[in-house]
Amino acid sequence: MQKDRDFVDFLKSKVSILEIISRKVKLTKTGRDWFGLCPFHSEKSGSFKVDPDTGQYYCFGCGVHGDVISFIMEFEKLTFGESLEYLANMYGIPLPQKSKDVADPKLKIYSALEVIKNWFVKELKEKSGESARKYLESRKISGEFAKKFQLGFAANSKGLLAHLQKEKFFESTLLKTGIFFKNQYKNEITNRFDGRLMFPILDASGKCVGFGGRAIEKTDAAKYINSPETEVFIKSEHLYGYSIAKRNKAKELVLAEGYLDVVSMHQAGFDGAVAPLGTSISETQIRMCWKVSDNPVISLDGDSAGTKASYRWLDKILPIACPGKSFKFARLPQEADPDSLISSGNADSLEDAIKNATTMSQWLWDGAFLLHPSETPEQKAAIIKMVREKAALIQDASIRNLYIHDIKDRERDLLYRKKFTAKGNKINIRPVITVKEKIEKIIVVTLINHPYIIDRVVEHFVGLEFNDNQMRKLKDRVLDCYNNYYMSGNIEKYASSMSELAGSIDDISKDVALHAYFSSKDVSDDEAINEWCTMCDRYSCDHVIIEDLQNAANRMESTFSDGDWQRLKALKKETLLNDVKKRR
């Protein structure tokens, strides 16, 4: 113990707090001290002070304070030991050994895993890895992100074994990595991942502790397998992509279901994506999430299994819920997952689902009614009883009492509803779409399917302000095509770009055509433009707001939710603002 304290003191004497913090925060000297914007809360004036003489920092705004080690722990989201290692490596200071004579036996395992990981990465680039590279291309994973996540390929056991033996690793060590197992029939060790695309699993500090492997060829074996638990790998203590999310300083942590979901999400800009190594989550993994984000988002697959799993996670999260720490739950379209949404060009739908994720208290209630029959009073009573029992699991008394009151309020609201639309175990989660949002889709889809009417309506189109995020982005793409190609006279390029855009929204087009026949490519441009102008006029009319207001009020009598209430308030506010404008 004394030896450890001596090393900490020695390390702090060699490390400059000013040098370390100035790499992360822009500092300005004022007198003897240095000041900058606090990295731990949002502020406009610099109240974060660094005193190089005492080796301390202090924020007058939020009160955070400490030494260089606590700064690294908080800023980099590392443990105390990891922070010591981080600083020691930065300054080239060797870490103390527990014993000069006996080395940590785990170090050999970590070393072997690192060599194995690098071998798999190399194999992916070789001729033997061609099938794995083609698979990644088919899943639209770029070389940049394959490299970032150190993806590899397990070609065959013999080459890897020969390499490891050359590196002086004994069979006993290789078996402890979990990559190899003893084949009793052949009396030799075999790589359990042969022929698989390899996903290295890293711990919080970035050390390889295990692997996930995905079968490339059709096989009777499992599509995915993980390393078995070893001395250095306990599945419930790790999250795939966690060290990368921490390094990205992700503002929002998003939990997906699989390896490819995580890689694909990072590639699409969701730099806080991680995944548990299975369909369950542990207390350790929950607390790991809270180290990075106070309110992580759970975004599992949109099928029945994914919805059931995300609701089941409440049993692990609720007991350890604490003030300021929670989770949100994103509802993906049925049968969709993050990777499929991104690869099909629908990243906007994923972004919207995450942005509009349901609070944990709301999901506790909504999920119960989505997953269980609720057609009779007896069924509803059983659901409410189950929800109360889950809330009773919460150990923090203040949060537990608030959940109990919230459930009572929802139960009271349920008594005044005429009907509830959950139907047995069938899960069909559809967001409420306003009349204005429907019209936005009709306006955009019609223009994409009739690209040559744009010259007659572009001024009107530019002035429209859409609510729907996906429609705003499609509008921008249409205008980009118009400005870059149509206006410069390159009509052929304009036509091909708009045709490509139309192909990317085929599903939306089919849905819109059911409500607006003129949006179809088969309708003449003259008819389309007349109906398009009528739709634009309707979009700007007050009665659309009134229609949305009436729909929201009608839902109040049936399945009124927090989202409906917020929408109702927003619509009333918009109506009042329009009245004020008219009086002026």
At residue 390, the 3 state secondary structure works out as helix
Pick the CATH number of 2-91 from 3.90.580.10, 3.80.10.10, 1.10.10.60, 1.10.10.10: 3.90.580.10
- DSSP for 399-428, written as a single string: HHHHHHHHHHHHHHHHHT-S----BTTB--
Beta strands in 28-143 (DSSP E): 28-30, 33-36, 48-51, 56-59, 65-66
Q: How far is CA 326 from CA 149, 193, 313, 314, in A?
A: 28, 37, 12, 11
Residue indicated by tokens 């080796």: 55
Which pTM was predicted?
0.61
Domain spans of the chain, in order of start:
2-91, 105-233, 240-415, 435-540, 543-583
Are 569 and 466 contacting, i.e. CB atoms less than 8 angstroms apart?
A: no
At residue 209, the 3 state secondary structure works out as strand
Query: What's the residue count for the chain?
Result: 584
Of the candidates 414, 422, 257, the one whose C-alpha atom is nearest the C-alpha of residue 350 is 257
- Cα–Cα distance between 179 and 169 in angstroms, integer? 13
For domain 240-415, give the fold. Answer: Dna Topoisomerase Vi A Subunit; Chain: A, domain 2 (3.40.1360)
Going residue by residue through the chain, which has 584 residues, state the pLDDT in tens, using 9 for 90 and above.
445 667 888 888 888 899 899 888 889 988 878 999 988 887 778 889 998 888 899 988 888 889 999 899 888 878 888 888 888 888 888 887 654 444 567 889 999 999 999 999 999 999 999 999 999 999 999 999 999 999 999 987 688 988 998 988 999 999 999 999 887 777 788 899 999 999 999 998 889 999 999 998 877 678 899 999 999 999 999 999 999 998 888 888 999 999 999 999 999 999 999 999 887 899 999 999 998 889 999 998 888 888 899 999 999 999 999 888 999 999 888 888 899 999 888 899 899 999 999 999 999 999 999 999 888 999 999 999 999 999 999 999 999 999 999 999 888 888 765 444 444 444 444 444 566 778 889 999 999 999 989 888 888 888 888 878 888 889 989 998 888 888 888 888 888 889 888 888 888 888 888 778 888 888 888 888 888 888 887 776 644 554 555 555 555 544 445 555 555 555 555 554 454 444 44
For domain 105-233, give the fold. Answer: DNA primase DNAg catalytic core, N-terminal domain (3.90.980)
- Cα–Cα distance between 394 and 500 in angstroms, integer? 52
- Cα–Cα distance between 285 and 116 in angstroms, integer? 26
